Structure 1
Amino acid sequence: MDIEGFVRQAIKHDSEESVRENLTQKIMEYKDIDSNQALKMASAVIEEVKHTLEIESHPDDFLRELIEYPRADVAMGQIGVGSRGAGDFFVHRKIAEIVSSSHTNAFITPEAQDDGGVVKKSVNSNDIYVTTAVDGIHSRLSEYPFLGGFHVARAALRDVCVMGADPVAVISDLHLADDGDVGKLFDFTAGVCAVSELVNVPLVAGSTLRVGGDMVLGDRLVSAVGAIGISEYPPTARKRAEVGDVILLTEGSGGGTITTTAIYHGMFDVVNETMDISFIKASEAIFNAGLLPKVHAMTDVTNGGLRGDAHEISNTTGLGLTFYDDKIRAVINPKVLEMLEKLDIDPLGVSVDSLMIIAPKNVAEEVKKVISSVNVGITEIGFVDGTGKAKLVKNGVEEELKPLFREAAYTKIKKIVGDTTPEDFELMKQKVEKAALDSIAKKDNVVRSIKEK
């Protein structure tokens, strides 16, 4: 529970005494302390929040601009941020525009909406491409730190691999709420290090803090793992796809999303299916065979499932992609596919953690051979065309493959929230657009002011 957030909201419409009384009770629900200590804590939080509200009338315009943020009046859940659908993709594009407004140089920037970012450096007259990626722990795996750490580390390394880089290091950022057991820190780190040991990529640095410091009660775990990779070759970015290319897909057993689905539906045996490193083995096989320069693009089927990835690739390249439904299902782990179908979850709308490779026909044949040689399943699932749309052929009928407003609902709470596009989605986008532009203007003003000092 965010007690600072509670006070900020409650104090607007309730008396200070009422807020103090309610907060005291809430603190005692989480902490084993007496009422006097809880009352002191509640009073301190209220006093601090009241001070922060005074800044709204502060005479220093620059200070007020620093402290206040551009409000979109659109909540994260409303527009589906983190839900890997149309709303989430839109917000990420706005974030990329803010990054691009800094006019710093990168070989692959967030605007490409690719799996990782890339900078190009010249060392002794040789070009070196440095790839970075970061992923956050699945929010529903807070109670299962080892699984959370394992899958988020694997995800970050995947994002580096699909950009054609050789992973060289992993970093970790770990936040545990005030009442969380310290053992969660160790279990999460062990999960990260299990992947680190399996693929021989060291965990070299990190940060460990509390979620919200003293202001958040409970034991929620939130964290992120980053990965760094290097390559002598240009990255296998999505924009390199060409008409006539073949689309390959490796067997996918899922990661954090599939694990969450299995746990919260009581289908625990499926969790074991996700505990592998076949994705990284497949990437390494391509790398070691010297095929990377010949492969046009690679991506992992994660954000919003194949629907989301197909849409983003088509949107980035302006090309079309045609997929065959039966061939896709053939490379989803049988136990995972059985679970998804039993729960009426669209396999094309969730993260199955497959490696998708786009390459010329002759190169694709070589790729299939080297990946099969490391005992990872792979098959041809479609091709690139010039239509500018992503399409799915199912039972002989072709349909446009579009991302939903949110990824396919894979928990009961997500089914209640739904995945239909809100009627006011266009209005929400306009508000978000304005907030992003206001943030750029604020950044420009602050940079200008500091330079003028």
Structure 2
Amino acid sequence: MKVGKMPGHKLEEIILNRIGFRRKDVLVHAGIGEDSAVVDLKGGLLVISSDPITGTAKNCGYLAVHVSCNDLAASGAEPVGIQVILLLPETIEEGELAELMEEIVTTTASINVEVLGGHTEILSIVKKPIVCVTAVGKVERDKFVSSDGALPGDDIIVTKGVGIEGTYILANDYSELLREKGVSEEAIRNAVEYKQKLSVIEEGLLAADFGVHAMHDITEGGLYGALDEISKAAGVGFELYYDKLPVSRETREIAEALKLDPAGLISSGSMLITCKDGEKLLSLLREKNIEASIIGRIKGKERSIIKNGSRKPFVWSNIDELWRIMEQLPFFS
């Protein structure tokens, strides 16, 4: 099988279609585009999400916490705690493990989340640390937001910018490659600071209070992957205004050097939102110093991209641009 996120149709065929049993108190089940499960507690709702970090070894604890808690925020839920599974290579030193754990607990404390437990194991088949986090959170019933709620006519909003996490990983893990490709030292230095942009908890909770129809944090597959999943989950189409995408100077410089599309680059730190009155939500976000842009509109069935004044059908490779670049590197392949 190909490296990267499993294509939706294969995920459905091999994995999801085998899950037959359903409990009545589970409101959101495993499904395409659903990053969190939701359990009815006869009061509030319990929201649960799991994610691994596989594309980088550096700062993997920091990333694992934010990626999993971001999934909860995309449901309008406040993260409460996490369970951590650490699968580690035999070569890891005790000091390295202590640093990894310190990174995890420092990150969770910064967003008011507790480490509830987990599992730690050393394995001969593991070549670099793999961190898997299950996050649990809570949300009031009337504030819960699903990824399948997008409606025709909704504005499509993205917060901060596209390609945030990928820009950070490339600058942090592959700075020498970027220098070889002509990326400036200033761009690399600034891109490493994107680490501070990776949480979407604040905008997720604000958007839930506003009453948005759907949210999806933009992870593997980038904006393209998130749009693909949110439209399939709701059974709707969309038009994407490509020329209006918020692409930072650092992301653009790195993308041009590596010949990658920033809209297909992993982007934890960005939230995809659909709602009525998009301009009103933009104003509320900007009051909290959260940059956001309207980048498209939900349509009936057609899925298209408008670029340089030309409309074309939406086509996506199902491969994140970060994985595509990594597969070309001799030490990865």
- TM-score, structure 2 as length reference: 0.86
Letter paired with 2:314: L
Letter paired with 2:193: N
- Residue of structure 1 in register with 2:122 after alignment: 210
Shift of the 187–276 alpha-carbon distance from structure 1 to 2, 3 Å rule, reads farther
RMSD (CA atoms):
2.3
Q: Which has the higher strand share?
A: 2
Residue 339, structure 1, aligned to residue 251, structure 2: no
- Residue of structure 2 in register with 1:113 after alignment: 33
Q: Which has the larger radius of gyration?
A: 1
Counterparts of 2:65 and 2:202, CA distance in 1? 15
Counterparts of 1:355 and 1:413, CA distance in 2? 25
- Residue of structure 1 in register with 2:183 after alignment: none
Unaligned runs of 5+ in 2: 179-187
- Residue of structure 1 in register with 2:145 after alignment: 236
Residue 157, structure 1, aligned to residue 69, structure 2: yes
Instruction: Find 1:132's aligned residue among 32, 48, 55.
Output: 48
- Counterparts of residues 38-437 of structure 1 (less than 5 Å): 76-77=1-2, 80=3, 83-84=4-5, 87-93=6-12, 94-99=14-19, 101-105=20-24, 106-122=26-42, 127-139=43-55, 141-142=56-57, 144=58, 147-211=59-123, 215-216=124-125, 220-233=128-141, 235-252=144-161, 254=163, 257-262=166-171, 263-266=173-176, 267=178, 268-269=188-189, 270-277=191-198, 279-287=200-208, 290-291=209-210, 294-328=211-245, 331-353=246-268, 354-361=270-277, 364-386=278-300, 388-409=301-322, 412-415=325-328
Does 90-99 or 346-355 show the bigger shift?
90-99
Counterparts of 1:410 and 1:111, CA distance in 2? 23
Letter paired with 2:315: K
Counterparts of 2:162 and 2:224, CA distance in 1? 17
- Residue of structure 1 in register with 2:185 after alignment: none
Letter paired with 1:306: L
Shift of the 357–208 alpha-carbon distance from structure 1 to 2, 3 Å rule, reads same
Flag the structure with more relative contact order, 1 or 2, with Cα contacts below 8 A and sequence separation at least 6: 2
Q: Tell me the CA shift for residue 381 of structure 1.
A: 0.8
Tell me the SS of whatever aligns to 1:110. coil
Counterparts of 2:291 and 2:149, CA distance in 1? 24
Counterparts of 1:132 and 1:379, CA distance in 2? 28
- Counterparts of residues 7-18 of structure 1 (less than 5 Å): none
Counterparts of 2:162 and 2:237, CA distance in 1? 27
Unaligned runs of 5+ in 1: 1-75, 418-453
**How many residue pairs were aligned?**
314
- TM-score, structure 1 as length reference: 0.64
Shift of the 209–200 alpha-carbon distance from structure 1 to 2, 3 Å rule, reads same
What are the superposed Cα offsets for residues 139-187 of structure 1, whole Å, 9 maximum, x if unpaired?
4x23x2xx11111111001000001111111221111122211223222
Instruction: Give % identity.
Output: 23
Give the conservation status (yes or no) of the 8 Å contact 1:169–1:227.
Answer: yes
